[in-house]
Amino acid sequence: MRSKIILFGDSITEESFDNGGWGACLSHHFARTVDVVVRGYSGYNTRWILHVMDKVFPVDQTGAPLAITIFFGANDACLLERYGGFQHVPIDEYKQNLMSIITLLKKRWPTTVVLLITPPPIDEEGRLLNPYKDNPSGLPERTNEAAGAYANECIAVAAECGVSVVDLWSRMQQFPNWKISFLRDGLHLTANGNKIVFEEVVEKLKKEGLSLETLPVDLPLFSDIDPHDPLKAFRNGE
Amino acid sequence: MRSKIILFGDSITEESFDNGGWGACLSHHFARTVDVVVRGYSGYNTRWILHVMDKVFPVDQTGAPLAITIFFGANDACLLERYGGFQHVPIDEYKQNLMSIITLLKKRWPTTVVLLITPPPIDEEGRLLNPYKDNPSGLPERTNEAAGAYANECIAVAAECGVSVVDLWSRMQQFPNWKISFLRDGLHLTANGNKIVFEEVVEKLKKEGLSLETLPVDLPLFSDIDPHDPLKAFRNGE
């Protein structure tokens, strides 16, 4: 049975198979080697998701996934006193929750590569230009500073748990035009933003030994099939 | 364990998770309901694939897939006497092979929806403008007429086996600008071509009872979570 990479997270994961999304790009990249499946839950924070871990990863799921990306924090980092406050999770709890998620997954599947992704940076003006329909406050529900604090906790968790992390918050801000280039509404990703996530995930997985160079191809590639005796490729494999 | 839709076919399936591809679109469409995984084998015809059915669908694969799309014929329809002749499969054998594939799958998973997709039409001028690197003949290796004949056999097989079929060959040619709009090299799909396949597959699946209206959502949607008591949604589900 083919190995899986599971993409686990919030809306930025749920919509990762939309046009040019980082999930679709991963699926295309690994088309002949691994199944890439999405477990993305728009609006969810780490507190909510801990209530449903057994539904996301049911006990009848067979075989350890090759890798799981964990991409939460953008909702946890909503400010408590603003619209979106009901999604807020205090930063200490966020840290504990992330550790609980990793512990649960690692206990069940010790060999699975776990890859954390920090929340992206926030363009507060972008949020104000694309507010939630029912947010009349005129204040963004998220700030870049808060997202950065949660990103730092995410990095700390990765270090404590000994797993890899993509520091998306910092990586994106290395580009001068990050607000426009990477974020379509101050939070969710543009095509360029998706490309960054895809590239960073591929690089981290490669460092963990999961790459096109190391993973076996499922069946003979067309380029390896002899035009003068095509069936030879399949007889060898039988 | 979440149900699957398996996309089984040749290069047009293998590359279906590329930017705006019909596989990625399906995965996005069903993000909260079904896993969409790709079993696409560039260059393969129905003869070759029959040699490796047990590798594509291994015995340890648990649970019947919800649906399987079968999208072969573009390579079978390569003309015998031209470049690509080694991919050619005689039309009678193509028909028998398709029936064998369906029989194998239906025997193993009687409840699985099987959906055939005919080969797309061929733009012969497009093929000549984008020839295989090592095809010096100046003749296209495929013709639209041959693709149409194989498409008709595919439709006949669907009728005989009582399964659904997307007649892509005819559907695309209903649009006056199909050659440019839908095919990027006379054979493989543009973004618009992918969109047609996606829409046709969604419609056929819906007719088989598989749609967002009928498939259960995995976890509470964000819009169904009460901002005043978010955890209620999860307590109910426990």
Contact B189, B178 (CB under 8 A): no
Contact B202, B29 (CB under 8 A): yes
SS3 A156: helix
Predicted confidence band of residue A60 (pLDDT cuts 50, 70, 90): confident
pLDDT at position A236, please?
A: 63
Exposed e or buried b per residue across A22-43, where buried means at least 16 C-beta atoms within 10 angstroms of its C-beta: bbbbbbbbbbbbbbbbbbbbbb
Give bridge partners of residue B26 from the DSSP assignment.
Answer: none
Degrees, nearest 5: CA angle A167-A94-A196: 20
pLDDT averaged over every residue in chain A: 95
Based on the residue annotation, tell me whether B185 is a catalytic residue of this protein: yes
SS3 A26: helix
- What mean pLDDT comes out for the span A84-106? 97
Query: What is the rounded CA–CA span in Å between residue A128 and residue B49?
Result: 53
Per-residue pLDDT tens digits for B70-106 = 999 999 999 999 888 999 999 999 999 999 999 999 9
Based on the residue annotation, tell me whether B28 is a catalytic residue of this protein: no
Distance from CA of B229 to the nearest CA of A (A): 8
CB nearest A17 (choices: B31, B42, B221): B31
For the cut 70, the answer to whether the pLDDT of residue A238 exceeds it is no
- What mean pLDDT comes out for the span A67-85? 94
A228 chain-B contacts, CB cut-off 8 A: 86
Based on the residue annotation, tell me whether A11 is a catalytic residue of this protein: yes
Query: What is the rounded CA–CA span in Å between residue A105 and residue A57?
Result: 9
For the cut 90, the answer to whether the pLDDT of residue B137 exceeds it is no
Per-residue pLDDT tens digits for B21-49 = 999 999 999 999 999 999 999 999 999 99
Chosen from B190, B194, B222, B223 to mutate, greatest number of chain A CBs within 10 A: B222
CB nearest A225 (choices: B43, B60, B234): B43
Listed residue (A60, A55, A64) closest to A6, CA to CA: A64
For the cut 50, the answer to whether the pLDDT of residue B132 exceeds it is yes
Indicate the range of A113-117, A128-132, B2-6 predicted with least confidence.
Answer: A128-132
Query: What is the percentage of chain A residues whose pLDDT exceeds 70?
Result: 98
Chain center to CA of A187: 14
For the cut 90, the answer to whether the pLDDT of residue A137 exceeds it is no
A24 chain-B contacts, CB cut-off 8 A: 17-19, 21, 24, 27-28
Of residues A28, A42, A137, A185, which has the active-site annotation?
A: A185
pLDDT at position A235, please?
A: 84
Query: What is the rounded CA–CA span in Å between residue A111 and residue B177?
Result: 52
A83 chain-B contacts, CB cut-off 8 A: none
Per-residue pLDDT tens digits for B180-231 = 999 999 999 999 999 999 999 999 999 999 999 999 999 999 999 999 999 9
Radius of gyration of chain B (CA): 20
For the cut 90, the answer to whether the pLDDT of residue A237 exceeds it is no
Both structure tokens of B128? 């000549």
Radius of gyration of chain A (CA): 20
Query: Could B55 and A27 be called an inter-chain contact, meaning their C-beta atoms sit closer than 8 Å?
Result: no
Element containing residue B71 per DSSP (H, E): strand B67-71
pTM of this structure: 0.96
Element containing residue B160 per DSSP (H, E): helix B144-161
Of residues B28, B42, B137, B185, which has the active-site annotation?
A: B185
Q: ipTM value of the model?
A: 0.95
Contact B79, B147 (CB under 8 A): no
Query: Could A41 and B14 be called an inter-chain contact, meaning their C-beta atoms sit closer than 8 Å?
Result: no
**Beta B113-117 vs B67-71: how paired, if at all?**
parallel
Predicted confidence band of residue B62 (pLDDT cuts 50, 70, 90): confident
Give the residue with greater pLDDT, B91 vs B59: B91
Exposed e or buried b per residue across A188-207, where buried means at least 16 C-beta atoms within 10 angstroms of its C-beta: bbeebbbbbbbebbbebbee
pLDDT at position A170, please?
A: 98
Distance from CA of B159 to the nearest CA of A (A): 30
Listed residue (A235, A25, A29, A78) closest to B230, CA to CA: A78
Q: How far is CA A170 from CA A76, A165, A166, in A?
A: 18, 12, 9
Residue B182 carries which DSSP code?
Answer: H
Q: Domain total for chain A?
A: 1
pLDDT at position A41, please?
A: 98
Per-residue pLDDT tens digits for B141-185 = 999 999 999 999 999 999 999 999 999 999 999 999 999 999 999
Query: Could A230 and B86 be called an inter-chain contact, meaning their C-beta atoms sit closer than 8 Å?
Result: yes
Listed residue (B103, B229, B204) closest to B157, CA to CA: B103
Chosen from B72, B234, B238 to mutate, greatest number of chain A CBs within 10 A: B234
Question: Domain range for residue A106?
Answer: 4-234
Distance from CA of B13 to the nearest CA of A (A): 10
**For the sheet containing B35-40, what is the strand order?**
B35-40, B4-9, B67-71, B113-117, B164-166
pLDDT at position B236, please?
A: 63
pLDDT at position A136, please?
A: 76
Listed residue (B4, B143, B120, B135) closest to B61, CA to CA: B4
Maximal C-alpha separation, chain A: 71
- φ and ψ at residue A66, rounded to 5 degrees: -65, -45
CB nearest A17 (choices: B24, B40, B55): B24
A37 chain-B contacts, CB cut-off 8 A: 2, 35, 37
Domain holding B80: CATH number?
3.40.50.1110
Per-residue pLDDT tens digits for B109-129 = 999 999 999 999 999 999 988
Distance from CA of B48 to the nearest CA of A (A): 7
For the cut 80, the answer to whether the pLDDT of residue A37 exceeds it is yes
Query: What is the rounded CA–CA span in Å between residue A19 and residue A25?
Result: 9
